[in-house]
Amino acid sequence: MHMSQLTEKDLATLSAAVSQFERPSLAARLAAVVGMPVEKLLGWLPVSIQNQIDRATEEALARVLNVARKTLHDETKGPKNLAHKLAVTVSGVTGGLFGAPALFAELPVTTVIILRSIADIARSKGEDLSDPAVQLACLEVFALGSNTKQDPPDLTGAESQKKESYIRSSYFVSRAAMAQQVTAAAEILTKGTASAGSALTRLISNIASRFGVAVSEKAAAQAVPIVGAIGGGLINALFMDHFQNTAEAHFCVRKLERVYGTDVVRNEYENLARSEVD
């Protein structure tokens, strides 16, 4: 029997984080709203729109980081989750009224609001928002919340190591894939020497490629004719809720890492994740 090094309360916190990262994807939640698989809707998005989404997503993330660095302050207020959710709901209502073209006007606004909500959550978990590494950890949430949930492979015996690999190829592997760029980008932000070909640019491009998937799913759901203004607002509220929950999980894990160390928390995470797929 595995004996956890975490307290019962901290283990429950980590278990909630595992559930967030292992639960069905954003696409599944959007499908429940529109009553149609989002994967099918994505096939209806014109290539031109998809290309525009890719470009707009990267531009929005670059802009949102600049806004964050200029406007986020280390206050001691709790996260204003409801206020931020209401703000993006209003933005979604506008998008629902005017359809796909409004997405590109709405996206930068929605992304800034989501980032501010993520930062509020980070601050409530003891993070120092004046630290460039923390600002980038906030940006990471856009990528971590855009991972596609897959079913674990049905493997036994000698192949069980592949299942082990599957378990590990989720939250922590996603973080590891960005870690080197995050470290280099944080150094650039600290020194203020970012250039067009810098690690910061590459990091934003990396995160944008993942966040763009979530944005495309949202766009596909909003493109359903029956959605309209009310549905557009509901989809945006769900979109915000998804990234707020992702931020809550991410910064809870980081808080536990500061107490127990990364290796201990990662091992406990994998034990909990393994119990979900066995």
Whether residue 256 is contained in a domain is answered as yes
DSSP type of residue 169: T
Whether residue 155 is contained in a domain is answered as no
Say whether pTM exceeds 0.75: yes
**Segment 32-70, tens digit of pLDDT:** 877 888 778 787 777 888 888 888 999 999 888 887 777
Number of domains in the chain: 1
Whether residue 157 is contained in a domain is answered as no
Whether residue 177 is contained in a domain is answered as yes
Whether residue 156 is contained in a domain is answered as no
**Segment 108-133, tens digit of pLDDT:** 888 888 898 898 899 999 999 889 89
Whether residue 96 is contained in a domain is answered as yes
**Segment 193-207, tens digit of pLDDT:** 655 458 888 999 999
Whether residue 235 is contained in a domain is answered as yes
Whether residue 47 is contained in a domain is answered as yes
What mean pLDDT, rounded, does the chain reach?
78
Expressed as residue numbers, the domain containing 74 is 8-148+165-277
CA distance linking residue 244 with residue 118, whole number of Å: 6
Length of the chain in terms of residues written: 278
CA distance linking residue 202 with residue 198, whole number of Å: 6
